[in-house]
Amino acid sequence: MGKKKVIGKKEIKEVVRRRYGEIAARAKGEGATSCCPSSSCCAPEEACSAAALYSPEELSGLPESVTEVALGCGNPTAIAELKPGEVVLDLGSGGGIDVFLAAQKVGPTGKAIGLDMTQEMIELAQKNAQKVGAQNVEFRLGEMEDMPLEDESIDVIISNCVINLSPDKDRVFAEAYRVLKPGGRMVISDLVTEGGLPLAVRQSVEAWVGCVAGALDKREYLEKIEAAGFIDLKMRVGGFAHSGGADTDIYQWVVHIDLEAHKPA
């Protein structure tokens, strides 16, 4: 028997780009497009909706083309303690929900920048910005592993269940460190494992786009952030994973985390 083909980094990126591009293309219509039925969210179905992650006040005034493409697993803007005048970067900004919430918090003297590698998502987010009338936002096409931003230009980095999708997390954290100002902070929601994943899951395309196959053991995740130079790491482990425990439930191996880390001043 021949060896089973190993999914390469380039293939992972293209699969993820294509899947989320399809979601954005559907959302650019006026109808709602829930992510959960297609298993494209970074959470079990019961934790997938915007209503499960954000307060009614946060969702007030946002169109369905924003709320129905909330594909994350947490709410980093709620814990980032954003201040007026700060410049915020959202890694994997998707339809823009966390960018718009961040923009409200930093106010007209601040700015929220969304970075996404999917052209369709950038176009959707720009369309959404017009709908909500957001003036202090910007969306840039680019990859987390090679951010199109200047050194030390960002006060706060946020990300909502996207870093696990990267096949090169060392590079993501190194780039995050580079673009942050001294004393800046990174506040992210993500999925990690408690122990290893079965090889079959690691090699599953569906598990990659569902934010499971790329999830690291939480200790390894922290070690990579520290290796990039970050200090004062704080992690809170959530509990929505292990939703069913069945062999077919890819989320049985992962847990949700909220994490904060700082670049030395």
In a domain, 2, yes or no: no
Spell out the residues 6+ positions from residue 106 whose beta carbon is closer than 8 angstroms to its own.
Answer: 82, 83, 84, 85, 86, 87, 88, 112, 136
Q: Report yes or no on 116 lying in a domain.
A: yes
In Å, what is the CA distance from 111 to each residue of 89, 155, 227, 237? 9, 10, 29, 29
Asked if 192 and 218 touch (Cβ cutoff 8 Å), the reply is yes
The whole-number pLDDT of residue 222 equals: 97
What pLDDT score was predicted for residue 240? 52
Q: Does any domain span residue 120?
A: yes
For the chain, list residues with pLDDT below 70: 1-6, 29-48, 239-250
Asked, for residue 252, whether it belongs to a domain, the answer is yes
What percentage of the chain's residues is helix, strand, coil (to nearest 5)?
40, 20, 40
The pTM score is 0.89
CATH of the domain at 255: 3.40.50.150
**Domain assignment present for 3:** no
pLDDT for the residue numbered 48: 58
How remote is the C-alpha of 230 from its chain's centroid?
Answer: 19
The answer to whether the beta carbons of residues 77 and 98 sit under 8 Å apart is: yes
- The domain total for the chain is 1
Measured at the alpha carbon of residue 237, what is the angle toward residues 233 and 239, in degrees to the nearest 5?
170
User: Residue 127: inside a domain, yes or no?
Assistant: yes
Residue 111 lies in a domain: yes
- Tell me if 195 is assigned to some domain: yes
pLDDT of 13: 84
Domain that holds residue 137: 9-262
Q: What is the pLDDT of residue 109?
A: 98
